[in-house]
Amino acid sequence: MQPSSPKLSPCLGCGAMLPVNARASIGATHDYLLASAECWATFGEVLAREYSNAAYAKVHRLTVDAYAVQHPGHPSPQSIQSVTLHLISLCLVLECGFDMDQATRTMQRLARHKSDFVWLTPPNSLGDKTILDVWQAPDAIAHVKAVEEWAQSAWSAWESHHPQVRQWTLDWALNCA
Ligand SMILES: [Zn+2]
């Protein structure tokens, strides 16, 4: 090992290998998404690009959805609601052809069904793309492509639950669109 190689540690959520404490403040993570501090800080940098540049922002919906379903955490009312809503959003965009604004507006109306949400046991692998692939994109065009591939990868990882998510989408989202 090269003496200059940074020590890498895997994120407990998505598995991304990130340099330990390179950009993170210790302990600065989300309260129910299970992510390493390094992964959470990387996500924050990606969000900052999307908030400051419209060319990056057009895939913001997918960025938030992919990150949430790759960091499901443990069963709690908040994590159940988060995973359910973000999987439905991915289904709406990737399978039903909704644009990002339509998906966001639809998600906002779905909270009223939250008493019917149930915990879906996360798959062992949450996909082979992570926030790191997006963070490494050199420009807006590469960013959009990386987010689309990451979102597809994260959605595919939940394949065993697709029948349930499609049913919820049909019952709650398409009927209220
Ligand atoms: Zn992660």
The structural domains of the chain, with segments of one domain joined by +, span: 53-176
What is the per-residue pLDDT for 3? Answer: 54
- Ligand 1 center to 128 CA (angstroms): 12
The percentage of residues in the chain with a pLDDT greater than 70, rounded to a whole number, is: 90
The percentage of residues in the chain with a pLDDT greater than 90, rounded to a whole number, is: 73
- Ligand 1 center to 92 CA (angstroms): 23
Ligand 1 ion: residues within 5 Å (CB)? 11, 13-14, 16, 35, 39
Burial of 81 (0-12, 13-18, 19+ CB in 10 A): middle
What is the per-residue pLDDT for 22? Answer: 52
Closest CA to 87 of 123, 37, 42, 46: 123
- Ligand 1 center to 126 CA (angstroms): 10
Structural contact between residues 121 and 84, judged by C-beta atoms closer than 8 angstroms:
no
Low-confidence residues in the chain, pLDDT < 70: 1-4, 21-30, 175-177
What is the per-residue pLDDT for 177? Answer: 46
Instruction: Give the CA distances from residue 115 to residues 37, 110, 111, 112, 158, in Å, rounded to whole numbers and listed in that order.
Output: 31, 11, 9, 8, 22
- Ligand 1 center to 102 CA (angstroms): 27
CA–CA distance, 112 with 116 (Å, rounded to integer): 9
- Ligand 1 center to 13 CA (angstroms): 5
pTM score, two decimals?
A: 0.91
What is the per-residue pLDDT for 158? Answer: 98
